[in-house]
A and B are shown apart, each in its own frame.
Chain A
């Protein structure tokens, strides 16, 4: 990169000024209105585009209601070797905590509990790419060594519900006959209000209709 000296300000000065304004927008408590990326105030005219374009914006504001501690109703339909045409396996013994990381650009989600009497663990990171104008979601868990990567459609924006797609090579969670095959993924996040939302995960097996694999209903745990 050949950036002129005038466009290369002290990183500390830029980060300090911008962090203060960003943190103020995400103050604890009820969600506050987050403004889009603001032009730098007078005196900070040299703030380069590569910084301002990376600041938390409306997409991140849309995720703010997901932060906190949650009690989860976990319903397993068409995964863990099931086809999705049986009654769900349900666990009410699941908890999720979510917090901002990366200067409030990403939410880290840790979900733990028991399912069918056995421990379950999943961690995910949810963000909004300003430049792509899409949500991004990656999860890992203690069953799959494959990352589950979901991306919103480019320029889909911070609209609700949040819809993100991906695919993974199955190790058999979608059924033994799917081993080694690519299975389509779709996550839908429906935010009802500050205290309740729902995640749904759908599988699209090759040559088959999309089926609901998982549904998680989150209710906020009062602090």
Chain B
């Protein structure tokens, strides 16, 4: 394979960025990626625009190991008598060079095992948060996106923020047999209250009905 000069420069640029990210230095701003002005000029735009930025910084406080207290108001629980668990553990770590938080939550609820895997990111180009989850109950993926975020700042990393992301899914009957096969609107809200505590709520809106809270989780950081 012949590599053209532009591609050799690209290779060099990618190597620089990979080295920066491999050093575990979390890159918050695009301008901090190259170490020299000359290197900055060589970094192709499609690489530079994909670097982690302020939107990712705002998620930094979600990283780590968390004790989860969950109340589930559908399926195995009801609004009056939620299924409750206090033995869930969520483990989150950055993957893809600090672009996505990988979340695995495991434990038990209502006497059965619980498993959910998700990844949470921030699309620089769309200026929005994106969240996808899979679990051990639903055969479909749950896909959520926020509205565009105006003016994400690096200082968001230290602020208490609420991130709201919406989507739809086709119900396999979680809400009721009557809603099986219907498209349901869903909304996840992450409320970061401190470095050591945050909450995640999940809401469903069946057709013709008001939005209802179906899952409330409180995350408390586990001490290492």
Partners in one complex: yes
Interface residues of A (CB under 8 A from B): 1-3, 8, 10-12, 14-16, 48-51, 53-57, 59-60, 80-81, 89-90, 101-103, 105-106, 116-119, 121, 123, 125, 127-132, 136, 138, 140-147, 149, 169-173, 176, 179-180
Contacts of B113 in A (CB 8 A): 12, 15
Residues 44-63 of B, flagged 1 when their CB comes within 8 A of A and 0 if not, give 11110111100110000000
B11 within 8 A of A: yes
Provide a sorted-by-A list of 23 A–B residue pairs whose CB atoms are within 8 angstroms: A1-B175, A2-B78, A3-B75, A8-B76, A11-B110, A12-B110, A14-B112, A49-B177, A50-B172, A50-B173, A51-B137, A55-B139, A103-B136, A116-B11, A127-B139, A143-B46, A145-B96, A145-B123, A146-B123, A146-B125, A169-B123, A176-B46, A180-B125
Contacts of B56 in A (CB 8 A): 145
**Bound state CA distance, A176 and B45, in angstroms?**
7
B134 within 8 A of A: yes
Contacts of B173 in A (CB 8 A): 48-50, 53
Contacts of B125 in A (CB 8 A): 145-146, 169-171, 179-180
Interface residues of B in 73-104 (CB under 8 A from A): 73-76, 78, 83, 95-97, 99-100
User: In the complex the two chains form, is A130's CB within 8 Å of B180's CB?
Assistant: no
Q: Given A141-B96, A147-B121, A180-B125: A89 and B46 within 8 A (CB)?
A: no
B206 closest partner in A (C-beta): A1
Interface residues of B (CB under 8 A from A): 1, 3, 7, 10-11, 14-15, 18, 21, 44-47, 49-52, 55-56, 73-76, 78, 83, 95-97, 99-100, 109-113, 115, 117, 119, 121-126, 130, 132, 134-141, 143, 170-177, 180-181, 214
**Bound state CA distance, A131 and B179, in angstroms?**
12
Contacts of A118 in B (CB 8 A): 11, 14-15, 18
**Bound state CA distance, A141 and B181, in angstroms?**
33
User: In the complex the two chains form, is A145's CB within 8 Å of B140's CB?
Assistant: no
**Bound state CA distance, A196 and B86, in angstroms?**
45
User: In the complex the two chains form, is B49's CB within 8 Å of A179's CB?
Assistant: yes
Q: Given A118-B15, A179-B49: A2 and B138 within 8 A (CB)?
A: no
**Bound state CA distance, A52 and B56, in angstroms?**
38
User: In the complex the two chains form, is B176's CB within 8 Å of A1's CB?
Assistant: yes
User: In the complex the two chains form, is A145's CB within 8 Å of B124's CB?
Assistant: yes
Q: Which of B46, B51, B78, B134 has the most CB of A within 10 A?
A: B46
Shortest beta-carbon distance from A149 to chain B in Å? 6
Given A116-B3, A116-B14, A169-B126, 12 more A-B residue pairs with CB atoms under 8 Å apart are A3-B176, A54-B137, A55-B139, A102-B136, A106-B134, A118-B14, A128-B139, A131-B140, A140-B121, A142-B96, A147-B119, A179-B125
Q: Given A119-B18, A127-B141, A143-B46: A54 and B172 within 8 A (CB)?
A: yes
**Bound state CA distance, A202 and B43, in angstroms?**
25
B130 closest partner in A (C-beta): A147
User: In the complex the two chains form, is B1's CB within 8 Å of A89's CB?
Assistant: yes
Contacts of B95 in A (CB 8 A): 123, 140
User: In the complex the two chains form, is A12's CB within 8 Å of B123's CB?
Assistant: no
Contacts of B141 in A (CB 8 A): 106, 125, 127, 129, 136, 138
Contacts of A57 in B (CB 8 A): 139
Contacts of A56 in B (CB 8 A): 139
Shortest beta-carbon distance from A217 to chain B in Å? 16
Candidates B11, B47, B177, B181; contact of A143 at CB < 8 Å: B47
User: In the complex the two chains form, is B172's CB within 8 Å of A145's CB?
Assistant: no
